[in-house]
Amino acid sequence: MTLYDEVDGYFGALVPEDAGLLSTRHAAVEAGLPDIAVAPNQGKLLHLLAQIAGAHRILEIGTLGGYSTLWLARALPPEGRLVTLEIDPAHAAVARDSLEQAGVGDVVEVVVGPAADTLDRLIGDGTEPFDLVFIDADKESLARYTEQSLALSRPGTVIVVDNVVRAGGVVDADHPDARVQGVRRMVDLLVDHPRLDATVVQTVGSKGHDGFALLRVLP
């Protein structure tokens, strides 16, 4: 166990996982899904950000097993709605089952298919703007997802983009990892963007050295 793990464990009393969260996490493991879901403290951060933003409508890009989805869904008011996008039908099935068992199936819509295509469809349909967007999908497409999320937002919408530090790889302009280059393209998009105010916070913990971008949509 690393010191980072010990620190996460120490603060764990602030983010206890109840039966629904534990069951959702364990179901993903049992189904063989990649172990890339947010950590409990990160899930709680998303939950708090959604509440601080007063979010009634949430968009999540990248469902996986529904762990972060559950944290976000529980931040919604009774009339709230969450749309989450997942490319893998098997992952979506695991998430749907877990979310239903956790009691939020009626407020969450899991949409299967390539996220870029689904986002284009939502934009074309004139979908009501979202109050918070969480982007946690393939990093190669982050710039595109950010632009599409903006088109589905309103002034004041909060956009959170996960896994943008890549263990520091983002500082290397010639890095061979396409995920790193995807993050760099997003950062290039954000610099001096007329409608997005942004920062990035580095994190260390049970998920290693990474970080997230926090964006706010301007008028």
CB count in 10 Å sphere of residue 52: 11
* Order of all β-strands in the sheet with 153-162: 108-112, 81-86, 57-61, 130-135, 153-162, 208-217, 196-205
The length of the chain, given as a count of residues? 219
Alpha helix locations (H) across the chain?
Answer: 3-10, 19-30, 40-52, 67-73, 89-101, 115-124, 142-151, 178-190
Q: What percent of the chain has pLDDT over 70?
A: 100
Query: Using one digit for the tens of pLDDT, what is the confidence trace for 179-203?
Result: 999 999 999 999 999 999 999 999 9
pLDDT of residue 102 exceeding 90, the answer is yes
C-alpha span between 199 and 208 (Å, rounded): 20
**In which band, very low, low, confident or very high, does the pLDDT at 218 lie, cut at 50, 70 and 90?**
very high
Query: Considering the entire predicted model, what is its pTM?
Result: 0.97
SS3 assignment, position 190: helix
* Topology annotation, domain 3-217: Rossmann fold (3.40.50)
Q: Which two tokens stand for residue 76?
A: 């919604």
Instruction: For residue 191, give the amino acid letter.
Output: V
Q: What is the mean pLDDT of the chain?
A: 97
Place of tokens 């979310």: 99
> If pLDDT is split at 50, 70 and 90, which confidence band does 64 have?
very high
Task: Please tell me the distance from the alpha carbon of residue 88 to that of residue 72, in angstroms, as a whole number.
Answer: 20
Q: Note the pLDDT of residue 137.
A: 98
Burial class (CB in 10 A: 0-12, 13-18, 19+), 1: exposed
How crowded is residue 97: how many other Cβ atoms within 10 Å of its Cβ?
Answer: 17
CA proximity to 184, closest of 195, 174, 170, 204? 170
Tokens read off for 43: 């899930």
Q: Where are the domains of the chain?
A: 3-217
Gap between the Cα atoms of 208 and 219, Å rounded: 36
pLDDT at 122: 98
pLDDT given at position 193: 98
Which pLDDT tens digit goes with each residue over 128-180? 999 999 999 999 999 999 999 999 999 999 999 999 999 999 999 999 999 99
**Residue range 12-35, pLDDT digits in tens:** 999 999 999 999 999 999 999 999
pLDDT given for residue 1 in this prediction: 84
How confident is the model over 80-109, as a mean pLDDT?
Answer: 98
**Mean pLDDT, rounded, for 112-125:** 98
Mean pLDDT (whole number) for 87-97:
98
User: Strands 208-217 and 153-162, how do they pair?
Assistant: antiparallel
Tokens 């971008």 belong to residue: 213
